[in-house]
Amino acid sequence: MNRLWKTSTNLFMRGVRSMANRTSTMLKTRQLPSIGQSRKALGAAGLACGASLMGYAVVTEAAQAKGEEKDAVKIVLQTEEQPSLDDMKIFSGTANLPLAAEIAEELGVPLGSVSIKTYADGEIGIQVHENVRGKDIYIIQPTCPPGVNDNLMELILLVSTMRRASARKITAVIPYFGYARQDRKMQSRVPISAADVCRLLEAMGVDRVVAVDLHCGQIQGFFGPRTPCDNLEGSVVALPYFANLNLKSESTIVASPDAGGVHRAKHFRDRLKKRYHIDAGLAMIIKQRLRANAIERMDLVGNVEGMDVILVDDMIDTAGTLTKAASELTARGAKRVFAYATHGLFNGPAVTRIQNSELEQVVICNTVPLKPAAAQCTKIKALSIAELLSEAIARIHYKQSVSALFNTTK
């Protein structure tokens, strides 16, 4: 009996060591069996072990267990259930409800029920009318004008509400990230507001942030390593539009309206070449400002004579930079001037300036609700970014690569 016990114990320990070694290898290669195979292997291993302890020679079951013992590790690795649409809930603040509705429709899930109201003293009240315990929550809320601060406060309170209601994960989808232009200290005794907004969101308990064309990519670093920030490229929405304009490689230039946006313009040009085989040139305008939203002069770097030019920027505010750049390009001999910007704010005299400018067409995404005057302007074309955002949300939810969205050739 002692010999049998010793033999059975040795067999059991050898099996444990073998499973541990195979577990390490499988974790590295990620070659994992199915749950059904795991249960079968676990059952076979248990049967063989029990038979050995009882003194029976169950050769068939033992051999099966030896062949499938590596599959038993799947039980340990798959303790967490695979995500499904039932685990996902989409909520929206009041900043851009039409976009949120489009995203929910693309994903095939209903938009979550939430009440957001403003009290007489200006305070914001929020109540969620659905159970969110253990759910993966996606809150769609650009912190855009009008009411940048109100929209930001809505987002903060929505995150707080979901966290206090025991949501499993909270992802803030911020198509337009307010305060992004205040990303560094340009003079003494000023805040770095973009960093402060990031810290506010982290403090409220957000798990992940999805933004679109941040004014400065380094804003991603304002979030800590426990709060990943995905910066989606809105240009992939606009590329098909410009490809359909029958642009030719030898007569097309992609230009940046300022020195800081050269990388963005170059990226746009590279994607235009990779996806649609339009090998455009590159130009840059160097502007000298008197103050915010006031430009003293512009200088062009590059040749645009007889060319179709696409001005690429991340946002259009008062359109002063954009329209002056278009005038400068036309004066230098450009045949047609188009513009693309992800975020169309169109504050102040922006719409009037665009309507009276040399610009052929201004293309934007609907990250910010289009103002009525801008919607009526014949030169402004708004493209929906809902498909891009819904695909990004789906990839995050199902633990797939987000960068793969931008690596395709089409």
Catalytic residues: 287
CA 114 to chain centre: 23
How much is the CA Rg of the chain, to the nearest whole Å?
28
Query: Residue 242, Cβ neighbours under 10 Å: how many?
Result: 23
The DSSP symbol for 292 reads T
Those residues with Cβ within 8 angstroms of residue 111's Cβ, 6 or more apart along the chain or in another chain: 90, 91, 92, 100, 101, 104
CA atoms within 13 A on the CB side of 300: 22
Residue 284 CA from chain centroid, whole number: 28
Consecutive H or E run containing 172 = strand 169-174
Task: Give the pair of three-digit tokens for residue 364.
Answer: 């934007």
- Give the count of alpha carbons within 13 A of 4, CB side only: 10
CB-side exposure of 192: number of CA atoms within 13 Å? Answer: 11
CA distance 1 to 264: 77
| Cα–Cα dist 71/283, whole Å | 58
φ, ψ dihedrals at 108, nearest 5°: 80, 25
| C-beta of residue 365 within 8 angstroms of C-beta of residue 343 | yes
Classify each residue of 2-13 as buried b or exposed e, where b means 16 or more C-beta atoms within 10 Å of its C-beta.
eeeeeebeebee
Strand partners, 89: 137
